[in-house]
Amino acid sequence: MSQYSEEIKRRRTFAIVSHPDAGKTTLTEKLLLFGGAIHVAGAVKSNKIKKTATSDWMEIEKQRGISVATSVMAFDYDDHKVNILDTPGHQDFAEDTFRTLTAVDSVIIVIDIARGEEAQTRKLMEVCRMRKTPVIVFVNKMDRDGKDPFDLLDEIEEELQIKVRPLSWPIDMGQRFKGVYNIYEQKLDLYTPSKQYVTEKIEFNDINSPELENHIGDTLAEKLRADIELIEGVYPEFDVDTYLKGDIAPVFFGSALNNFGVKELLDCFIKIAPSPRPIQAVERVVEPEEDSFPGFIFKIHANMDPNHRSCIAFVKICSGRFERNAPYKHVRFGKQLRFSSPTAFMAQKKETVDEAFAGDIIGLPDTGNFKIGDTLTSGEELHFKGLPSFSPEMFKYIENADPMKAKQLNKGIEQLMDEGVAQLFTNQFNGRKIIGTVGQLQFEVIQYRLLHEYGAQCKWEPISLYKACWIESDNPVALENFKKRKSQYMALDKEGRDVYLADSGYVLTMAQQDFPDIRFHFTSEF
């Protein structure tokens, strides 16, 4: 039994994921409101509310009303320490979200009642299923008209391939939305809209008592009783162990924008969600209760403070305790590093911490020592895998638009690529730099950030490429031969590994047939 077990049991670390515009950032904002971390909630996009959301602090996020980077926030609630990671929903930033899922113990999936589940949600669910991460579903935007709740539950079961169990149930929806009956605690919460403050609830215990009609009217009361009876009959009993295994997902209904149903979600989450779980390293399984400290870097963010150009590496602590100024071993370099100012986050606001425990996420100032996937330990050789870079799908040449600012541009590209926003390839034939991304939006974000954060202007030139593949071979002669034959299409990534840039699917298939000794990889981890 570890001396830190009390602290570790208090920790809850989770990510909020969903399709774009389902309401992740708004839900994060409301959870912070209930946690007492902020007193007035902001909104992602609104004319009446001037405060923007806490987690969208980058300038480009405020302008467009979307999240482009994962933000980390922590607060205390009901004697528990909660760490939230708000992830970007846009497909173009899916890599950031996949990496985030490696650093959390459970996930809340947000689904829009009108749209139901979408392609991006399915992808994310696959990652959760792979890692057996427990999932809670929050059905958002109940104040708008949408699908019938029973149909939606069937759709979730079918599409996400997971059993569900409603723990709260809506009473009508859209303009007629009356509230939610909390099945988990057997209470009735009546709906009073308020976007920025916490509203009062009515407690109501016995669903069969005639008082129910006074609150919601005769027809709705009958319907609610029938629905609850049906739920009890059709869906399995809620069992916490099955949820922790990742086999069943509890479902809550509410409206994050109007602050409704969020507190129920948070109360239940604190009770049932897992505290930090064991993590599989390449060498062994790391238990959170151990005394020694290992942690891995799952994200690097450049320019958190534009005045200082600082980079911050986000570390997930896997076990034991992290102390300020203690020496820790950087496994890839094999040398000891000390950190005088580790920080805890509230999106962009940071404060220095003296200690942190398993399950926490801290930021370390990065002066070019770290890459995504690095390990820090108290002395043991450990490696964590599972933070891949995927093969990009869109490519453009990056050119300097202002010859006086070449230095700033190179610095900017280097820092943004370390973040893992996109990938940089240098063509061996003509030495030009190629940026590969997953989606169009990233090019715009890179261009915007280079200009506003580094003062460097860039322009894009088109290039038609199909895929980038990392290549390796046990036969050095064959590798050399391949590089000669394909010299126009050979490039190096920023680690200096060989990458073959295929210009069409047909060419790639032919190359795989013509050179059987060469292995082609589509992720950077092999």
Question: In a 3-state reduction of DSSP, which class is residue 331?
Answer: coil
- Nearest one of 406, 342, 329, 308 to 374, comparing CA atoms: 329
Residue type, 349: K
pLDDT, position 52 = 52
- Nearest one of 84, 78, 83, 72 to 36, comparing CA atoms: 78
**60-110, pLDDT tens digit by residue?**
555 555 555 567 777 788 788 888 877 765 555 566 677 777 788 888 888
**221-266, pLDDT tens digit by residue?**
788 788 888 888 888 888 888 888 888 888 888 887 777 778 888 8
Q: What's the Cα-to-Cα distance from 84 to each of 100, 171, 225, 305, rounded to whole Å?
A: 11, 29, 35, 21
pLDDT, position 396 = 92
Cα(78)–Cα(405) distance, integer angstroms: 52
Prediction pTM value: 0.77
Residue type, 115: R
**439-482, pLDDT tens digit by residue?**
777 888 888 888 888 888 999 998 888 888 888 888 889 899 99
**197-228, pLDDT tens digit by residue?**
555 566 666 666 666 676 677 777 788 788 88
Mean pLDDT of the chain: 78
- Is residue 268 over pLDDT 60? yes
Helix (H), strand (E), coil (C) string for 290-329: CCCCEEEEEEEEECCCCCCCCEEEEEEECCCEEECCCEEE
**402-431, pLDDT tens digit by residue?**
889 889 899 888 888 877 778 889 998 888
pLDDT, position 1 = 46
- Is residue 510 over pLDDT 60? yes
Q: Are strands 106-112 and 135-140 parallel, antiparallel or unpaired?
A: parallel
**368-379, pLDDT tens digit by residue?**
788 878 888 888
Handedness of CA 231, 237, 241, 245 (dihedral sign): negative
**Rounded to the nearest 5°, which phi and psi values hold at 159?**
-75, -40
294 or 54, greater pLDDT: 294
Residue 195, beta-bridge partner list = none
**124-158, pLDDT tens digit by residue?**
787 778 778 888 888 888 777 878 888 888 888 88
**158-175, pLDDT tens digit by residue?**
888 888 888 888 877 777
Q: Please identify which residue in the block is written with the tokens 């162990």.
A: 241
Cα(418)–Cα(370) distance, integer angstroms: 9
Domains and CATH numbers, the chain: 5-277 (3.40.50.300), 280-377 (3.40.50.300), 394-521 (3.30.70.3280)
126's enclosing H/E stretch is: helix 119-131
The tokens for 393 are 């799908």
Cα(3)–Cα(323) distance, integer angstroms: 15
